[in-house]
């Protein structure tokens, strides 16, 4: 199924949930004790027709809508530090946690003023290489490279596609992304570096352009409402690497953050965070290294049972493709996850 078609189906599902009132009458069954929301970019610019990473960006106006809706629906916005106790204690008002991954400049420029105005705590997960102005934001490199190329060839594969129009570029992105994500990470990074080279781009330049520097982060650390979490050294799909790399990436990423910011770092976000990137071995390591919580990108609400799985917590992505009140209401109700998780409340294996 194409990405565009999948998005249309999701949007139709969200509208159905809203139209039938299912977000209200199923919520007592579907809604957990709380929800951890995931954000990436927050910026006002509207995406063009070719914007394959548009799911990772919402507008400041929609962030404001999210925060207003949380308050109206009775959610207490809490910090990640408070989550273990909230899960272990007796159920009260639902809670929400706001998490931002990767450490983008636009989080400080466009999100922080809104978060401050609403007086809510939030967590920023920082990849230490990105803060140092290097590393590979490969999903964005791939978008830019295909944006410049007229044809996309992946040597050693059957992929050889036209990329003249926006529709062709979108199709080529999806084909290359799907192929490379299924393989080893070294092959993915090499192939995208090669495409960047052919497009006249330097792989690795994007971190300095898009990400907060250590000085920016130290400034942000003066705000007591901000919690910093680790997001590894170089943003690898951890489950694809050996045990030594796994430990080095997680531990050194955390230690660098603590050294640079002079703050404890008690939380981890697994890069990419789906089951091909973070599984039982990663969850066990996060626990052994003493993290209080670790978050995935597996979709779902938090239930009392997650108190025993604090290093495999699901999150709900506030998706740039679905910036509508109906979509948000559905996500906060928990109803879509009943279907996605086939009725399971815990997906922690
Ligand atoms: Zn990330």
Residue that is written with structure tokens 């979490």 in the block = 229
137 Cα–ligand 1 center, Å: 9
178 Cα–ligand 1 center, Å: 18
The alpha carbon of residue 218 and the mean position of all alpha carbons in its chain are separated, in whole angstroms, by 22
Query: Shortest CA distance to 282 belongs to which of 298, 272, 264, 294?
Result: 294
Region 215-223: what's the mean pLDDT? 97
What pLDDT sits at residue 172? Answer: 98
3-135+212-340 domain in CATH 3.20.20.370? Answer: yes
What pLDDT sits at residue 30? Answer: 76
233 Cα–ligand 1 center, Å: 11
Region 244-248: what's the mean pLDDT? 98
What pLDDT sits at residue 342? Answer: 62
Ion ligand 1 contact residues with beta carbon within 5 A: 101-102, 271
What pLDDT sits at residue 12? Answer: 73
103 Cα–ligand 1 center, Å: 8
150 Cα–ligand 1 center, Å: 29
Average pLDDT, the chain: 93
Region 204-218: what's the mean pLDDT? 96
Is it the case that residue 25 has pLDDT exceeding 70?
A: no
Among 30-34, 164-168, 238-242, 295-299, the minimum mean pLDDT is found in: 30-34
Q: Where in the chain is the domain with CATH 3.20.20.370?
A: 3-135+212-340
Q: What is the pLDDT of residues 113-150, one digit of tens each?
A: 999 999 999 999 999 999 999 999 999 999 999 999 99
What pLDDT sits at residue 37? Answer: 98
102 Cα–ligand 1 center, Å: 5
107 Cα–ligand 1 center, Å: 14
272 Cα–ligand 1 center, Å: 6
In angstroms, the CA 116 to CA 19 distance is 33
Q: Contact, 32 vs 301, CB < 8 A?
A: yes
129 Cα–ligand 1 center, Å: 12
What pLDDT sits at residue 337? Answer: 84
What pLDDT sits at residue 165? Answer: 98
Is it the case that residue 63 has pLDDT exceeding 60?
A: yes
Q: What is the pLDDT of residues 254-276, one digit of tens each?
A: 999 999 999 999 999 999 999 99
Percent of the chain at pLDDT exceeding 90: 83
29 Cα–ligand 1 center, Å: 31
In angstroms, the CA 286 to CA 274 distance is 16
H-helix or E-strand spanning residue 345: none
Beta strands in 203-307, from DSSP E residues, in sequence order: 226-230, 267-269, 293-299
216 Cα–ligand 1 center, Å: 18
As a whole number of Å, the CA-based R_g of the chain is 20
279 Cα–ligand 1 center, Å: 16
Region 180-198: what's the mean pLDDT? 96
207 Cα–ligand 1 center, Å: 12
Is it the case that residue 178 has pLDDT exceeding 70?
A: yes
Q: What is the pLDDT of residues 311-331, one digit of tens each?
A: 999 999 999 999 999 999 999
What pLDDT sits at residue 4? Answer: 64
What pLDDT sits at residue 338? Answer: 77
57 Cα–ligand 1 center, Å: 13
What pLDDT sits at residue 250? Answer: 98
DSSP 108: I
């Amino acid at each position: 199924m194409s990405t565009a078609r999948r998005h249309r189906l999701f949007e139709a599902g969200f509208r159905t949930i809203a139209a039938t009132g299912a977000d209200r009458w199923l919520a007592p069954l579907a809604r957990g004790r709380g929800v951890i929301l995931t954000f990436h970019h927050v910026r006002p610019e509207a995406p063009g027709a070719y914007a394959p990473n548009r799911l990772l960006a919402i507008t400041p106006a929609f962030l404001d809508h999210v925060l207003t809706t949380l308050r109206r629906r009775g959610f207490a916005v809490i910090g990640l530090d408070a989550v273990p106790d909230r899960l272990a204690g007796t159920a009260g008002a639902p809670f929400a946690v706001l998490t931002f991954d990767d450490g983008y400049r636009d989080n400080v420029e466009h999100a922080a003023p809104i978060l401050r105005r609403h007086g809510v705590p939030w967590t920023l997960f920082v990849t230490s290489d990105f803060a140092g102005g290097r590393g590979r934001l490969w999903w964005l490199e791939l978008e830019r490279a295909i944006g410049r190329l007229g044809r996309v060839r992946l040597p050693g594969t059957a992929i050889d596609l036209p990329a003249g129009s926006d529709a062709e570029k979108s199709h080529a992105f999806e084909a290359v992304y799907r192929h490379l994500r299924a393989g080893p990470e070294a092959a993915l990074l090499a192939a995208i570096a090669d495409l960047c080279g052919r497009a006249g781009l330097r792989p690795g330049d994007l971190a300095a352009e898009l990400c907060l520097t250590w000085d920016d982060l130290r400034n942000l650390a003066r705000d007591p409402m901000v919690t910093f979490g680790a997001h590894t050294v170089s943003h690898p799909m951890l489950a694809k690497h050996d045990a030594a790399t796994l430990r080095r990436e997680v531990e050194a990423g955390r230690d660098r953050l603590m050294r640079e910011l002079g703050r404890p770092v008690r939380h981890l976000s697994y890069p990419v965070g789906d089951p091909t990137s973070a599984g039982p071995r990663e969850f066990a390591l996060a626990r052994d290294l003493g993290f209080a919580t670790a978050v995935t990108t597996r979709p779902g609400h938090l239930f009392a049972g997650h108190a025993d799985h604090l290093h495999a917590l699901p999150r709900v992505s506030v998706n740039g493709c679905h910036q509508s009140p109906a979509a948000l209401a559905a996500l906060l109700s928990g109803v879509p996850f009943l279907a996605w998780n086939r009725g399971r409340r815990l997906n922690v294996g």
